[in-house]
Amino acid sequence: MQRIVVLAGGVGGARFLRGLRAAVPEAEITVIGNTGDDIHLFGLKVCPDLDTVMYTLGGGIHPEQGWGRAEESFTVSEELAAYGVGPGWFSLGDRDLATHVVRTQMLTAGYPLSAVTEALCARWNPGVRLLPMTDDRVETHVLIDTTDLPEDQRGEGEPGRRAIHFQEYWVRLRASVPAHAVVPVGAEHSKPAPGVLEAIAEADVILFPPSNPVVSVGTILAVPGLREAIADAGVPVVGLSPIVGDAPVHGMADKVLAAIGVEATASAVARHYGSGLLDGWLVDEVDAGSVGDVETAGIRCRAVPLMMRDLDATTEMARAALELAAEVDA
């Protein structure tokens, strides 16, 4: 029984996981999910990346969006707006709200996030073990400069540098202004959730899917002890580039890569992770020219199709990643 550990963020990670599960249905897959995107709204705790994995693999995801539920309605949101209770820019559907009510109820009763996630997954049966990276509160904030915003979007307060919640940067601002810093608030005091270090220690292979290297995989690696556990696991660690050509496949990874001074190219991301962490790296065929550059950095590299256009494509990507893992293991 092959044991695979995957560090996953949101949409990109979840789509890759569908392919991985199809490629090796008999494998035991443990997903370490990013919780830095979590946000508290209307008294509820929302965990976007955990929910995207759970809904995508459980069959409840809104397929085009890659987040939220299919067949959604927004009656509660409309009523909240009628009361003037915001924010209106983060749309929570009625079905999705039930997940956040159950989660918040269990957290309030004293269950850790890992137990809550296990309980929610008992309904969805994602076919993988989904662990939050930590049970402690971590929320990514982005440092922007309000003077980069149009006048009418600056809000109150002195113009200048301001830290805003990642979701406000991502959803309300659509990453339309430079991110001067990306800070996973609370990460330095967090510890890996129960089962995380054990899963890494027992893994036969560890995969970094095409998730955002800064706010998804980067945030998971910011939990003290996680990066070292992966580096010292002594098993192949293979990643798939989230950047194809010079643009992110999904989302706006280039905006947050700039914040940490990493250029938005497949080879720059590989070098950012480093050969201390990565043994292998898959780039898309359009980036075949960068294979030599990545190999010079001490990371085995191959060029394969990386556009996640459908399940067959992601299944092939997963197969290619596992083949590269076997190659570096030899």
Instruction: List residues near ligand FO1 by CB under 6 A.
Output: 9-11, 37, 46, 48-49, 51-52, 67-68, 90-92, 96, 167, 170-171
Query: Whole-number minimum distance, CB 183 to ligand FO1, in Å?
Result: 16
For residues 44 and 223, give the distance between their C-alpha atoms in angstroms, rounded to a whole number: 24
Nearer to ligand FO1, 96 or 293 (CB): 96
Nearer to ligand FO1, 66 or 225 (CB): 66
Nearer to ligand FO1, 236 or 251 (CB): 251
Query: Whole-number minimum distance, CB 38 to ligand FO1, in Å?
Result: 9
Nearer to ligand FO1, 92 or 226 (CB): 92
Query: Whole-number minimum distance, CB 129 to ligand FO1, in Å?
Result: 20
Query: Whole-number minimum distance, CB 60 to ligand FO1, in Å?
Result: 12
Q: Are 299 and 325 in contact (CB under 8 A)?
A: no
Tell me the residue ranges of DSSP E strands in 249-299. Answer: 280-283
Q: What is the DSSP letter of 162?
A: E
Rounded to the nearest 10 degrees, what angle do helices 11-23 and 48-58 cross at?
30
Residue 31 DSSP SS3? strand
Query: Whole-number minimum distance, CB 212 to ligand FO1, in Å?
Result: 7
Task: Please identify the residue of the shown chain whose CB is closest to the bound ligand FO1.
Answer: 10
Q: Are 206 and 233 in contact (CB under 8 A)?
A: yes
Nearer to ligand FO1, 169 or 273 (CB): 169
3-state helix, strand, coil in the chain (%, to 5): 40, 20, 40
CA 234 from centre of chain: 24
